[in-house]
Chains A and B, each alone.
Chain A
Amino acid sequence: MPKILIVDDDPNIRLLLKQSLEELEDQGVIFISADNGEVALDIIRDENPDVVFLDVMMPRMNGFDVCNTVKNKLEIRDVFIILLTVKGQKLDKQKGKDAGADIYMTKPFNPDEILRVARNILGL
């Protein structure tokens, strides 16, 4: 079963992402969520999700560091990470690339776009 991990410290955004993707639930996709980077990192290590929607600005461990640890330190290759950034934060394309993010999307995002991206990655 494909797994999608949703990481954001804001419960509303987690809910929004889940609702945006809920059609996939009918196709057997399993959703896991985490409200901070540390928990997310544990889940990525233990549960091997296929796709991660990862917020950047979070307490304790930010999305950058999670991404960097997963891609560059743990060298987990078979996970597709979508960084959810907010324009105006100190984040540019290069930094996202360095951290190893596969793509990044800016908030506010379009729910349909989130769904389309997930479908493309999972081939559903």
Chain B
Amino acid sequence: MMNISAIKILIVDDDVFVREMLSSILEAGGYSIIMAENGREALEKCLYDESIDLIVSDVNMPEMDGLQLIKEIRTHGLEVPIIMVTGVSDISVAVDALSSGAIDYVLKDEGIEETINITVKRALAKHQLKLQNLQLVADLAAKTSEQEDTLSYLTAIINNMPDGLLVTNAQSRITLANPALGRMFGLNETELPGKNCEDAFSGNLAPLFEMVCSQSEHPVSAQVELVGGGVGSAVAAAIRKQQTTFFKSDEFIGNLVIIRDVTSEKEIERMKDDFLSTVSHELRTPLTSVLGFTKVIRKKLEEVIFPQLPDSDARSLRTVQQIDDNIGIIISEGERLTNLINDVLDLSKMEAGKIEWKHEPAQLPEILEQSIAATASLFENKGIEIIREIPEILPTISCDRDRIVQVVINLLSNALKFTDNGSVKVIADKNYEDNSTAISGQDFIKVSIIDSGIGISEKDRNRVFEKFKQVGDTLTDRPKGSGLGLPICQQIVEHHGGKIWVESDLGKGSTFSFVLPV
């Protein structure tokens, strides 16, 4: 209730004594009072001053009587409540006043001093209640309209989205199916709601039904066949209504299945596979000839031609040496090209998730020894020593052994490539804690390959794991490799749930490390 002194009451009576009496009574009650002599004057004041909260009006007045005043007030769209002051004799007028829109009436008798105050209070309260009620109704209407808008938006989205949508209730009865779903499965989606999943889904839709009925806690996904031989990727999830009560678990109210048409993605994927397969074949067939014949030529030269040359002739000797060197270059470059093709294929398969990964228990020390053995001759040729700091026993890891060997060989070859003297160190350590990983309690084994080579500048450090990015000046430093080795290592390590990184001091050497979960 607002402050009483702020409540403005208009007293309307042609009798100045009544006006003054009512005014003094109500003023004593704390209200602000204004007055009018008849209906016409009252109406003008009301139209002029919208802050009038209540009218207390006589019935019989010249120019415009009380009943007329009510009508005029309401005709002008004013909601201000009106109390009629009527004589004892004309109670029927009070009834008329009420039916015309007065909020209450007071009898002009001895007790008016008390009754007027009560009636005013009651009328104001009643009016307040009415306003609140109106506000609630208006709020509700606004909310309803807002929700209708939201519903319209949602309906428009659902009906126009390219993905198929199917919603079922807790009893597996279909409650919603959108036009995309109809198109995808060649059926009329408007006939679906109300049907039981089991009845509606046969043939192509059977997998959807299974998804819906599984009511799994986690979203489930499946591949489904669409009309016209297309492929859809479907995801189903349970719909749960959040409970307001803290201790109650969420209520299961149905399932949602979203189907995306992935036909063209699959087609593109297939085309890419075909392309890679063809390219790799078409590149390798001539390479096989080039490499093979070169090796045959070398063998024939060494076994048949060279022995026939007089070894006293310096020119012949030089020529033999040159031919031998040149053939060596053809072969090593051919092999480099072969490796590049292999790496491109490997990486594109990994990125496309096409590699079938093995997960076998393996001992890291064995993997490291195998990798060191595979590169030992290269190290020997360059006169670089390999120093091992590998504990004999490390926790078993689950991995694709050949792939991890590939990583270690790659890192060892890199270390060797950039180290001209000194040594390369291989360190394995089980006491590695990954602070950045959210999964606490996960143990990792860390492997580091430390070289004493040229090192990597800070700006290049982040780029070494990018494809075809070989650090250094490509004009002066001839690249030796595909530029795909480290990206492949990264793919492999990350697939195993580990990570790989590099630390380096320019001019002092680099440390490539990776961790694998135990």
Judging by beta carbons under 8 Å apart, are B289 and A13 in contact? yes
Verify if A27 is at the interface (C-beta below 8 Å from B): no
Please determine whether A90 and B287 come into contact, CB atoms closer than 8 angstroms: no
Interface residues as binary, A1-25 with B (CB distance below 8 Å gives 1, 0 otherwise)? 0000000001011001001100000
In the complex, residue of chain A having the shortest beta-carbon distance to the beta carbon of B344: A88
Quick one: CB contact mask for B324-346 with A, threshold 8 Å, 1 for yes? 00000000001000100110010
The answer to whether A108 and B288 touch (CB under 8 A), given A19-B296, A20-B296, A87-B342, is yes
**Quick check: which of A29-37, A42-50, A64-72, A109-117 contacts chain B, the rest being far away?**
A109-117
Residues of B within 8 A of A107 (CB): 284-285, 287-288
Q: Is the CB of B289 within 8 A of A90?
A: no
Q: When each residue 263-295 of chain B gets 1 if its CB lies under 8 Å from chain A and 0 otherwise, what string results?
A: 000000000010011001100111111111101
Partner of B296, one of A13, A57, A89, A111: A111
Report how far A86 CA is from B283 CA in the complex, Å: 10
B299 close to chain A: CB less than 8 A: yes
Cα separation A92 to B349 with both chains bound (whole Å): 14
Q: How far is the CA of A107 from the CA of B285 in the complex (A)?
A: 8
A90 contacts which of B277, B334, B342 (Cβ < 8 Å)? B277
Determine if B280 and A108 form an interchain contact, defined as CB atoms under 8 angstroms apart. Answer: no
- A108 & B292 in contact (Cβ 8 Å cutoff): yes
Option from A20, A57, A89, A108 in Cβ contact (under 8 Å) with B287:
A108
By a CB distance below 8 angstroms, the chain B residues around A109 are: 288, 292
In the complex, chain B residues whose CB is within 8 Å of the CB of A12: 286, 289, 293
Q: Which residues of B contact A92 (CB under 8 A)?
A: 356
Chain A residue nearest to B349 (CB atoms) is A88
Contact with B along A74-115 (1 / 0, CB 8 A): 000000000000111110100000000000000111111000
User: B116-147 CB contact bits vs A (8 Å, 1 = yes)?
Assistant: 00000000000000000000000000000000
Q: Are B288 and A16 in contact (CB under 8 A)?
A: yes
Other-chain residue from A10, A19, A108 in contact with B291 (beta carbon distance below 8 A): A108
In the complex, the answer to whether A110 meets B284 with C-beta atoms within 8 Å is no
Interface size on A, residues (CB 8 A): 19
- Residues in A with CB closer than 8 Å to B273 are 90
Contact A13 B295, beta carbon cutoff 8 Å: no
Number of A-B contacts (CB under 8 A): 62
Q: B292, A111: Cβ atoms under 8 Å?
A: yes
Among B277, B285, B290: residue with most chain A CB under 10 A: B285
Taking a contact as CB atoms closer than 8 A, the residue among A86, A110, A111, A112 that contacts B281 in the complex is A86
Do A16 and B276 have beta carbons less than 8 Å apart? no
Main secondary structure of the interface of B (DSSP, over half): helix
Instruction: Point out the residues of chain A lying under 8 angstroms from B284, CB to CB.
Output: 86-87, 107-108
Cα A24 to Cα B245 with chains together (Å):
87
On chain A, the residues within 8 Å of B280 by CB distance are 86-89
Choice from A89, A110, A112 contacting B277 with Cβ under 8 Å? A89
Q: Contacts of B276 on A, CB cut-off 8 Å? A: 88
Contact between A16 and B296 (Cβ–Cβ < 8 Å)? yes
A86 contact set on B, CB distance < 8 A: 280-281, 284-285
- Chain A residue at smallest Cβ distance from B342: A87
Chain A residues, Cβ within 8 Å of B356: 92
**A110 closest partner in B (C-beta):** B295
A120 to chain B, nearest CB (A): 19
Expressed in whole angstroms, the Cα–Cα distance for A13 and B292 within the complex equals 9
Distance, CA A10 to CA B293, complexed state (A): 14
Chain A residues, CB < 8 A from B287: 107-108
CB of A16 within 8 A of CB of B292, answer yes
CA gap between A90 and B356 in the complex, in Å: 12
Q: Which single residue of chain A is at the shortest CB-CB distance from B341?
A: A88
CB nearest to A22 among chain B residues: B296
B289: chain A residues within 8 A (beta carbon): 10, 12-13, 16
Give chain B residues whose Cβ lies under 8 Å from the Cβ of A108.
284, 287-288, 290-292, 334, 338
B513 to chain A, nearest CB (A): 30
Interfacial chain A residues near B295, Cβ < 8 Å = 110-112
In the complex, the chain A residue whose C-beta lies closest to that of B279 is A88
Residues in A neighbouring B345, C-beta threshold 8 A = 87-88
In the complex, A19 Cα to B291 Cα: how many Å? 13
Interface centre among B284, B299, B345 (most CB of A within 10 A): B284
The digit string for B284-314, where 1 denotes a CB below 8 A from any CB of A, is 1111111111011001000000000000000
List, in ascending order, chain B residues with CB within 8 A of A19's CB.
293, 296
Chain B 315-326 per-residue mask, 1 if CB under 8 angstroms from chain A, else 0: 000000000000
- Distance in angstroms between the alpha carbons of A13 and B296 in the assembled complex: 12
Q: Which residues of A contact B286 (CB under 8 A)?
A: 12
Cα separation A83 to B3 with both chains bound (whole Å)? 100
B278 to chain A, nearest CB (A): 9
- Chain A residues with Cβ under 8 A from B341's Cβ? 88
10 further contact pairs, Cβ within 8 A, besides A16-B292, A19-B293, A89-B280 = A12-B293, A86-B285, A87-B342, A88-B276, A88-B277, A88-B281, A89-B277, A107-B288, A109-B288, A111-B295
Could you list 26 A-B pairs, sorted by A, with CB under 8 Å?
A10-B289, A12-B286, A12-B293, A13-B289, A13-B292, A16-B289, A19-B293, A20-B292, A86-B280, A86-B285, A88-B276, A88-B281, A88-B342, A88-B345, A89-B277, A89-B281, A90-B273, A90-B277, A107-B287, A108-B288, A108-B290, A110-B292, A111-B292, A111-B296, A112-B295, A112-B299
CB-based closest 3 A-B pairs: A88-B280, A108-B288, A16-B292
